[in-house]
Amino acid sequence: MVHHSSRRLAAACAVVVVAGCSVPGSSGSSVQPPIASAAQVTTAAVPAPSTTASWSASADSTVRPRATDTRKGRALNRPFTVDGVTVVSVEHRVGAAYRPNVTGPHRLLPEAAAAFATLRRAATKAGLRLSVVSSYRSYASQRALYARYLGLYGRSYTRRYVAVAGTSEHQTGLAVDLRSPSGRGSTFDRTREWRWLRARADSYGFVLRYPKGRTKVTGIGYEPWHWRYVGVAHAKAIRALGANTTLEEYLRLA
């Protein structure tokens, strides 16, 4: 993971579960923290997310209402959503009771799991190989991971590379960290697999969640490995606005 803004250091992908990422300010030195596993997290049903605001993706951006996160107390146990899109970040947290019903070998929400399986089959048919490094992590898993890294590497390192529980997109069951045989982490965007994803992922409902050069908008450094399921309609609408358009900009959260 590359440099984060000081106000939003821990969000989304959060832990660098990928090797070969350069530490900011380390003159290109490589850090290789251990890969986190989510194999033992438990899940349970959660009430349908509450939608705070809704607008048509085809509407003029000047007339779209700006979404406001008004959740408090127990409402924080459901994610903030805009036009049906779940948003989890430092500014839009979720509580420990948010436990989506993930499924499949990569522990994603059913719709995301099905879409990813289709995407992966298409990539394989094109002669490419995609592997999942990390997907769903529960609030408890994220908290334990943060504590573990705090003890091993100290506060400064941990705040840069591990999300505080409740701020990671991985808790949604909608995000996957990917790699290929020829690249992972900060080198993933040099691979054929990444170029294929960049050109076609929107057709399967996935977007590059933290594009290059958009840290001031997302609060997260460039993460070529982190792909987020939003559905085909939203993914195509986001891509139509530009290859580096962020979810925050699309939903008018930034």
What token pair was written down for 207? 């977007």
User: Tokens at residue 74, please?
Assistant: 């127990």
Catalytic residue, candidates 111, 223, 248, 249: 223
The letter for the amino acid at 80 is F
Residue 200 CA to residue 172 CA, distance in Å, equals: 23
**Can you tell me the distance from the alpha carbon of 149 to that of 163, in angstroms, rounded to the nearest whole number?**
11
- Nearest in space to 98 (alpha carbons), one of 130, 67, 137: 137
111 is catalytic: no
**Cβ neighbours of 243 (radius 10 Å):** 12
16: left (phi over 0), alpha (psi -120 to 50) or beta: beta
The answer to whether the CB of 12 falls within 8 A of the CB of 43 is no
CA distance 72 to 82: 17
d(CA 60, CA 80): 23
Q: Which residues are catalytic?
A: 223
